[in-house]
């Protein structure tokens, strides 16, 4: 949209600029609140972006007028730094766990059977403490040891639903959980080639980014669930009043919280369990808190936890066991995951002999070492984890600074808590890379499981994925190996041969390059970058590399990885070998119909449909009949197919005057072209 001349910051006096900055800041904060806290946006993303950019422009033109709590500050800074330690102003306590109704009710009955309790979601993210002085966010601090935490204020400021300034000049210390919705996690992880195990780990890593501009890119949110008001002691009589106050102060509080007495507790827990399936954010249980503040004070605290609250852990099939050793797995990206070898216990139907310890931070937080008695649990994920320490064992375990597989010195990667092996020839990395390549979701090579690949690598049959295509020359020798009979070798070689038919859409992500997963591959192909030659040509031209940023969904870290990947001689050599082996290096053309009524049109699809489930079916049809599919609405989009649940894309389409079709209108359109959507010809 062209700017009106008198709109330019340069034509404004300082006074006018100040007024405009104040007005825009208030409006932006209000819309951020409606969007991130209330979930009820009143304006389109497009309008919001315009307003935001306008404020940024003004602040750039009048730097002295910039408010320290400006909403534009959430973009983050590029400065790297170590975190300062912060002495908490109150002890940051944790909760005593209960694992079933009986344990919880037992506690309720012993504590205050008639009393009122809040029951709220226990959010599974990263614990954070926010300190506001006179209504301004001063510090955001990790829980740390409970006494001292890391000051991660710059990162916390980038979280969109954390208010930087409160509607009143109040001093308040709050506790909350930084988390990511499942949807946001999946989208972000997809763009990061699936390198994050779960939303909790990603959230925890995100608030510890050294560069706040990186935190700003992550779709983090917060729920606050507890607060103290050092200046206005005794004002709030109940937890309910505190939560209401937080809501008034524009803090997001967990949804669904109820207040019940002991007699309703069991039913309430059942109700929450039913709701859990549909919940959009990760939770690992409930927190039950006595509502009355004076009763809380009377009960007091143990050294670590309040006596007036309990966590109720869901699906807590927890078993106690002893850590006999701690070993590591080195993944294809080099990430080193420590895991505890434990005395075998049966857990949810399987015998568990090891449990993950995630990373050094997690080990430190638990304070765990070899010999510790621990509780292990299977969460939603497949791999069991050490969850709690019963007795700590020997010294807190320290991951050695050399890769357990190849002994190379390990490194820490910017903003990640994990340690990495940097050696691309590390045997475990290479093996896991080949395992990844052969997986069903990737090249889907039959007959090659983890064990076979490990054997082939250890016995020098294959040292890279390209070697798979020379394996046929060693057929006779291979058939002499134990476990590789004629039949299984035929299956393996057949599977490898078959993989040459796999579309480039699979070849590219299977190579396992950082940031180049299925989603980015699709985006590239969608924008006409549909062959390896094209990719390599772009990688040699700085301007063309930068222009990748214009593709919605591709950000700077992907572009950087793109540049690094395709200038790496080893990778180029591997690609060359795969090409020579006969793999497809150009995306298969999408099948097209004889008639092309959608030729020249660019369609975006959003919302859900009765006749097209999943909605990709509608997209396939459009492409089959000559249209182009796009994943985001832009000025180049010509049509939007919008079903119920359409959100910002619909608003943006209306904004840009793009033709919008609902399902019935789309069916009519198909009919007018004599297209039978159930039977396309």
CA distance from start to end of the chain: 41
Site residues for ligand IVH, 210-229, by CB under 6 A, read: 225-226
Give the three-state DSSP class for 511.
coil
Question: Which segment (5-13, 87-95, 186-194, 551-559) binds ligand IVH by CB under 6 A?
Answer: 87-95
User: Is residue 127 a contact residue for ligand IVH (CB under 6 A)?
Assistant: yes
Sheet of 148-151, strands arranged across = 84-87, 148-151, 136-142, 126-133, 172-179, 221-228
561 within 8 A of 521, measured Cβ to Cβ: no
Nearer to ligand IVH, 365 or 568 (CB): 365
CA distance 475 to 470: 9
The single residue among 311, 478, 525, 660 that binds ligand IVH, judged by CB under 6 A, is 311
Give the H/E segment covering residue 534: helix 532-539
The single residue among 116, 123, 202, 551 that binds ligand IVH, judged by CB under 6 A, is 123
Residue 366 labeled ligand binder:
no
Residue 591 a catalytic site member: no
User: Is residue 340 a contact residue for ligand IVH (CB under 6 A)?
Assistant: no
Cβ 430 to ligand IVH shortest distance, Å:
39
Residue matched to tokens 């050399």: 402
CA distance 658 to 671: 21
User: Is residue 287 a contact residue for ligand IVH (CB under 6 A)?
Assistant: yes
User: Is residue 93 a contact residue for ligand IVH (CB under 6 A)?
Assistant: yes
62 within 8 A of 20, measured Cβ to Cβ: no
Kindly report the backbone phi and psi dihedral angles of residue 274, in degrees, each rounded to the nearest multiple of 5, phi listed first. -65, -40
Kindly report the backbone phi and psi dihedral angles of residue 628, in degrees, each rounded to the nearest multiple of 5, phi listed first. -110, 140
Question: Which segment (49-57, 115-123, 369-377, 604-612) binds ligand IVH by CB under 6 A?
Answer: 115-123
Residue 247 labeled ligand binder:
no
Query: Pick the catalytic residue: 122, 208, 217, 519?
Result: 122
User: Is residue 252 a contact residue for ligand IVH (CB under 6 A)?
Assistant: no
Cβ 501 to ligand IVH shortest distance, Å:
49
Phi/psi-derived region of residue 170, left when phi > 0, alpha when psi is between -120 and 50, beta in every other case: beta
The single residue among 59, 150, 154, 177 that binds ligand IVH, judged by CB under 6 A, is 177
Residue 612 labeled ligand binder:
no
What contacts 315, CB < 8 A, 6 or more positions away?
377, 378, 379, 380
User: Is residue 150 a contact residue for ligand IVH (CB under 6 A)?
Assistant: no
Residue 177 labeled ligand binder:
yes
Alpha-carbon dihedral 32, 38, 41, 45, rounded to 10 degrees: 40
Site residues for ligand IVH, 420-439, by CB under 6 A, read: none
Cβ 285 to ligand IVH shortest distance, Å:
8
Residue 52 labeled ligand binder:
no
What contacts 520, CB < 8 A, 6 or more positions away?
191, 193, 509, 553, 554, 558
Residue 486 labeled ligand binder:
no
Structure tokens that stand for 568 in this block: 């790496």
Question: Which segment (118-126, 390-398, 449-457, 657-665) binds ligand IVH by CB under 6 A?
Answer: 118-126
Residue 629 labeled ligand binder:
no
CA distance 562 to 154: 28
CA distance 681 to 676: 8
The single residue among 76, 144, 252, 254 that binds ligand IVH, judged by CB under 6 A, is 254
Q: Is 607 exposed, middle or buried (0-12, 13-18, 19+ CB in 10 A)?
A: middle
How many helices (H) and strands (E) are present in the chain, helices listed first? 24, 22
Cβ 595 to ligand IVH shortest distance, Å:
57
Residue 47 labeled ligand binder:
yes
Cβ 482 to ligand IVH shortest distance, Å:
50
Nearer to ligand IVH, 93 or 559 (CB): 93
Residue 438 labeled ligand binder:
no
Annotated binding site: which residue ranges?
Answer: 45-49, 94-95, 120, 143, 177, 289, 313, 403, 406, 421, 426
Q: Which residues bind ligand IVH (CB under 6 A)?
A: 93-95, 120, 122-123, 127, 143, 175, 177, 225-226, 254, 287, 306, 309, 311
Binding region for NAD(+):
45-49, 94-95, 120, 143, 177, 289, 313
Catalytic residue set: 122
């Amino acid at each position: 949209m062209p700017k009106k001349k008198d709109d330019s910051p340069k034509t404004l006096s300082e006074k006018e600029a100040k007024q405009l900055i104040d007005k825009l800041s208030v409006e932006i904060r209000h819309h951020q609140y409606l969007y991130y806290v209330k979930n009820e946006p009143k304006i389109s993303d497009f309008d919001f972006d315009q307003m935001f950019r306008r404020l940024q422009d003004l602040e750039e033109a009048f730097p002295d007028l910039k408010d320290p709590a400006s909403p534009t500050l959430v973009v983050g800074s590029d400065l790297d730094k170590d975190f300062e330690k912060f002495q908490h102003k109150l002890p940051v306590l944790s909760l005593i766990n209960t694992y079933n109704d009986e344990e919880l009710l037992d506690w309720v009955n012993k504590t205050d059977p008639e009393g009122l309790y809040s029951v709220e979601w226990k959010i599974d993210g990263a614990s954070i403490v926010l300190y506001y002085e006179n209504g301004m966010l001063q510090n955001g601090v990790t829980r740390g040891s409970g006494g001292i935490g890391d000051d991660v204020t710059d990162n916390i400021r980038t979280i969109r639903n954390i208010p930087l300034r409160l509607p009143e000049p109040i001093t308040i210390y709050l506790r909350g959980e930084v988390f990511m919705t499942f949807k946001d996690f999946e989208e972000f992880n997809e763009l990061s080639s699936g390198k994050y195990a779960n939303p909790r780990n990603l959230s925890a890593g995100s608030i510890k980014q050294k560069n706040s501009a990186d935190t700003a890119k992550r779709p983090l949110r917060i729920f606050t669930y507890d607060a103290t008001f050092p200046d206005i002691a005794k004002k709030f009589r109940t937890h309910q009043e505190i939560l209401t106050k937080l809501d008034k102060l524009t803090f997001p509080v967990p949804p669904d919280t109820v207040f019940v007495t002991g007699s309703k507790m069991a039913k309430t827990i059942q109700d929450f369990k039913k709701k859990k399936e549909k919940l959009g954010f990760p939770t690992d249980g409930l927190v039950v808190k006595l509502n009355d503040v004076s009763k809380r004070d009377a009960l007091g605290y143990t050294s670590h936890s309040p006596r007036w609250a309990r966590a109720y852990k869901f699906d807590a099939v927890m078993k106690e066991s002893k850590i006999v050793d701690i070993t590591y797995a080195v993944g294809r990206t080099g990430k080193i995951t420590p895991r505890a070898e434990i005395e075998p216990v049966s857990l949810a139907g399987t015998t568990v002999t090891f449990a993950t310890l995630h990373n050094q931070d997690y080990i430190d937080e638990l304070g765990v070492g070899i010999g510790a008695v621990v509780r292990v649990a299977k969460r939603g994920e497949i791999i069991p984890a050490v969850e709690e320490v019963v007795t700590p064992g020997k010294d807190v375990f320290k991951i050695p600074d050399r890769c357990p597989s190849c002994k190379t010195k390990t490194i820490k990667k910017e903003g990640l808590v994990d340690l990495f092996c940097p050696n691309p020839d590390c045997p475990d990395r290479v093996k896991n890379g080949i395992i990844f390549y052969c997986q069903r979701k990737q090249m889907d090579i039959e007959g090659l499981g983890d064990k076979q690949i490990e054997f082939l690598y250890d016995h020098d049959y294959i040292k890279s994925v390209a070697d798979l295509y020379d394996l046929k020359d060693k057929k006779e020798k291979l058939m002499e190996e134990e476990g590789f009979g004629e039949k299984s070798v035929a299956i393996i070689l057949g599977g490898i041969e078959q993989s040459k038919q796999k579309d480039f859409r699979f070849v590219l992500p299977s190579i396992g390059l950082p940031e180049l997963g299925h989603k980015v591959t699709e985006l590239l192909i969608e924008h006409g970058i549909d062959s390896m030659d094209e990719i390599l040509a772009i990688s040699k031209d700085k301007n063309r590399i930068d222009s990748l940023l214009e593709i919605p969904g591709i950000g700077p870290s992907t572009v950087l990885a793109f540049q690094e990947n395709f200038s790496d001689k080893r990778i180029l050599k591997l690609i060359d070998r795969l090409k020579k082996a006969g793999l497809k290096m150009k995306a298969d053309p999408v099948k097209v119909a004889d008639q092309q009524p959608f030729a020249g049109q660019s369609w975006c699809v959003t919302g859900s449909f009765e006749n097209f489930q999943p909605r990709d079916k509608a997209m396939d049809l459009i492409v089959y009949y000559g249209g182009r599919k796009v994943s985001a609405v832009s000025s180049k989009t010509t049509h939007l197919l919008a079903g119920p649940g359409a959100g910002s894309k619909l608003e943006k389409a209306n904004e840009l005057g793009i033709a919008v079709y609902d399902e019935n209108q789309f069916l009519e359109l198909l009919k007018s072209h004599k297209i039978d959507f159930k039977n396309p010809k």
